[in-house]
């Protein structure tokens, strides 16, 4: 969709990479928004720009709630739902292990939140 056909590989020029990110980020979020409305579904998108800044979108629910809905699924359902399962890092994943690690990282924040909750 442009003057030339673009090969899908890392854009090496940092300026072009950031410009392309900005344009395509907007396009992707628009698509996610349209899909959430047209099909009346839960959707969440999280991405980090090349410079490390976070952007996210979610439709009807808060992103935390979509992720909760996701993480509460049985492991097998999550695993079967992976798009592009052929990507290298997915081989040999022990989903449970990574989930465990994630949850452990969440733990300290959980404790802090519980502390804060006492004063709410």
Partner DNA sequence: CTATCTATTTATAAATC
Partner DNA sequence: TGATTTATAAATAGATA
Contact between 62 and DNA per CB under 7 A: no
Long-range contacts of 69-76 (CB under 8 A, 24+ apart): 69/42, 71/99, 75/99
Task: Tell me if residue 114 falls in helix, strand or coil.
Answer: helix
Q: What is the C-alpha separation between 120 and 113, in angstroms, rounded?
A: 10
- Scan residues 27-56 and list those touching DNA (CB under 7 A): 27-28, 30-31, 51
**Angle at CA 47, nearest 5°, toward 83 and 10?**
75
The number of residues that bind DNA (CB under 7 A) is 20
Contact between 5 and DNA per CB under 7 A: yes
Q: Are 25 and 55 in contact (CB under 8 A)?
A: yes
Taking CB within 5 to 8 Å according to partner kind, which of DNA, its own copies, none is near residue 4?
DNA
Q: Which is nearer to its own copies, 4 or 87 (CB)?
A: 87
Contact between 80 and DNA per CB under 7 A: no
Q: In the complex, which residues of this chain contact DNA (CB under 7 A)?
A: 1-6, 15-16, 18-20, 22-24, 26-28, 30-31, 51
């Amino acid at each position: 969709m442009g003057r030339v056909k673009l090969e899908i590989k890392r854009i090496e020029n940092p300026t072009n990479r950031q410009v392309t990110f900005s344009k395509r980020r907007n396009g992707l979020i628009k698509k996610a928004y349209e899909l959430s409305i047209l099909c009346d579904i839960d959707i969440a998108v999280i991405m980090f720009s090349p410079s490390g800044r976070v952007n996210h979108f979610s439709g009807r629910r808060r992103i935390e709630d979509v992720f909760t809905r996701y993480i509460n699924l049985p492991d097998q359902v999550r695993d079967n739902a992976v798009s592009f399962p052929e990507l290298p890092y997915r081989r040999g994943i022990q989903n449970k292990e990574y989930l465990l690690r994630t949850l452990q990282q969440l733990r300290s924040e959980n404790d802090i939140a519980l502390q804060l909750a006492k004063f709410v």
